[in-house]
Amino acid sequence: MYDVIIIGGGVIGTAAAYELTKYDLRVALFEKENDIATGTTKANSAIIHAGYDPVPGSLTARLNVRGNELAHEICKKLDVPFKETGSVVCAFGEEDDQTVKKLYDRGIQNGVPGLRILNKEEICALEPNISEEATSALYAPTAGVISPWEYALAFAETAVVNGLELHLNEKVTDIKENTVITEKGEYEAKYIVAAAGVNCAEIEGKVREPDYVLKANKGEYFLLDKSAFGIVNTVVFQCPNKNGKGVLVSPTVHGNIIVGPNAEGSSDKTDVSTTAQGLDFVRSAAYKSVPSLNLSANIRNFAGMRANTNNEDFIIRFVSPYFLSLAGIKSPGLASAPAIAEYVCELLKEAGLKMDKKQSFTDSRKVIRFKELSPEEKSEIIKKDPAYGRVICRCETITEGEINATFKTPIPPVSIDGVKRRCNAGMGRCQGGFCAPRVLDIIHKHTGIPKEKILKDKEGSYVLSGGAL
């Protein structure tokens, strides 16, 4: 009997696992894919929002602001790439100016620190490449950019270190009262916490008919080469208006520029393909904020699915005595993740779960990032382990030592993208063209998986499907 079973290994499920393993509880997490963070968590804008956007008084507003605060601490503790870049919401005209004012007021009510409305000169000083058409902007200094998958991995790895039982590749097929039934077995728990992202309605539906309607919504993006870095310094949003929420242009924590998303309702929540129309929309919308944006520096397009529902707010509540459903966790879900996790603990405690803090909880994690080391440190680490002297991913300067290290983490990778999510190998401008064969070799060495069986990402994504000669 588990105390808590979490369904879903995205940033919400893993944040909940991290929080729950602080207590003397037996916790398991079930994820249908072969790795953490393979759904919406790996395909979004990667923003830790400040919290001026949600309606005051809503659950989302509270959790966003609290989540932002927690992100600052947690990223330090767990060595997650995070940068407090600040954000601006740009207005282009009078109607937008009103929106900026409205967002400012909301932000104040939501308790967002440091908000300021910038005039044209101030915008130019902060963001010299923003369009001259900009009339005003809301500046939020606490907004930031993060590596979302590393955030989730940090939560999950720390949770595993602290006793989480992680079940990857194990899809939940049914739920009967307090029993979770998977492809591989049946597991009883005092409580079940569902953090199934875009599959929230499907999972909740195993308990009862959901009282909300899932309206999965796809967003497409461009990721630009590092040569484009510096075009904007903060997360540059547009004002939401009758034509949509607008697209953002933002630095990423890895030194790229991200541009997107559009918003397209989707009948197939598994369809994260990009489309010519979607990308065209993003392209032209982005030029509105940053006319000199060089989209030909694109290194990757991707799309992610939002778990939108007919309810603007997050939908977090018990739907049976055992089943706590976290539904409709769309943006700012990433920013809210650790606050949602705290809230989950509160709700479980209220429901009667005995929650005593563990005697010892490991609340730290350290990742060696070779390129960030000083010359002396580089020298030192290569002396200790010569593998740090061999650069495997030339675009991102990722060494064999760093890749080897991923296999010693609590959740070792099983695919080329798994390695990428853990140490950035293959994330650069050549998109693994150079390093993928070498990474494949290293995976083979560590796991013994025959090369033709090694995956790019999910099950079935064989890299060398033509086999050995």
- State the catalytic residues: 49
What is the amino acid identity at position 136?
S
Which candidate, 217, 233, 236, places its Cα nearest to that of 287?
236
- Residue list 410-429, contact with other proteins (CB under 8 A): 429
- Rank residues 143 and 249 by Cβ distance to other proteins and give the closer one: 249
Give the CA angle between residues 281, 286, 291 to the nearest 5°. Answer: 130
Q: Of the candidates 389, 404, 407, 412, which one interacts with other proteins according to CB under 8 A?
A: 389
Q: Provide the minimum distance between the beta carbon of 462 and other proteins in the complex, in angstroms, as a whole number.
A: 6
SS3 of 7, please? strand
Q: Does 315 bind other proteins (CB under 8 A)?
A: no
What is the per-residue binding string for other proteins in 33-72, x denoting contact by CB under 8 A?
A: ----------------------------------------
Note whether 100 and 106 are within 8 A (CB).
Answer: no
458 binds other proteins (CB under 8 A): yes
Distance in Å, CB of 284 to other proteins, minimum: 14
Contact pick of 58, 129, 169, 461 for other proteins (by CB under 8 A): 461
Region at 309 (left for phi over 0; alpha for psi -120 to 50; beta for the rest): beta
Note whether 301 binds other proteins by CB under 8 A.
yes
Query: What's at 418, amino acid-wise?
Result: G
Rounded to a whole number of angstroms, the minimum distance from the CB of residue 452 to other proteins is: 7
Q: Does 448 bind other proteins (CB under 8 A)?
A: no
Q: Using CB under 8 A, which of the segments 70-78, 231-239, 276-284, 311-319 binds other proteins?
A: 276-284
Q: What is the sign, positive or negative, of the torsion defined by CA atoms of 172, 176, 177, 179?
A: negative
302 touches other proteins by CB under 8 A: yes
Strand partners, 4: 27, 191
Residue 451 lies near other proteins (rule: CB under 8 A): yes
Interaction of residue 430 with other proteins, rule CB under 8 A: yes
Query: What is the distance between the alpha carbons of residues 314 and 48, in angstroms, rounded to a whole number?
Result: 16
Is the distance from CB of 427 to CB of 394 less than 8 angstroms? no
Q: How many CB atoms lie within 10 A of CB 129?
A: 16
Find the shortest distance in angstroms from Cβ 468 to other proteins.
6
| Residue 433 CB, nearest approach to other proteins (Å) | 5
User: Which of 26, 300, 369, 446 forms a contact with other proteins (CB under 8 A)?
Assistant: 300
Query: With respect to other proteins, which residue has the nearer C-beta, 25 or 435?
Result: 435
Q: Contacts for 124-129 with beta carbons within 8 Å, 24 or more apart?
A: 126/88, 126/233, 126/234, 127/88, 127/232, 127/233, 127/234, 127/236, 129/231, 129/232, 129/290, 129/291, 129/292, 129/293
Scanning 70-78, 140-148, 196-204, 448-456 for contacts with other proteins by CB under 8 A, the matching segment is 448-456
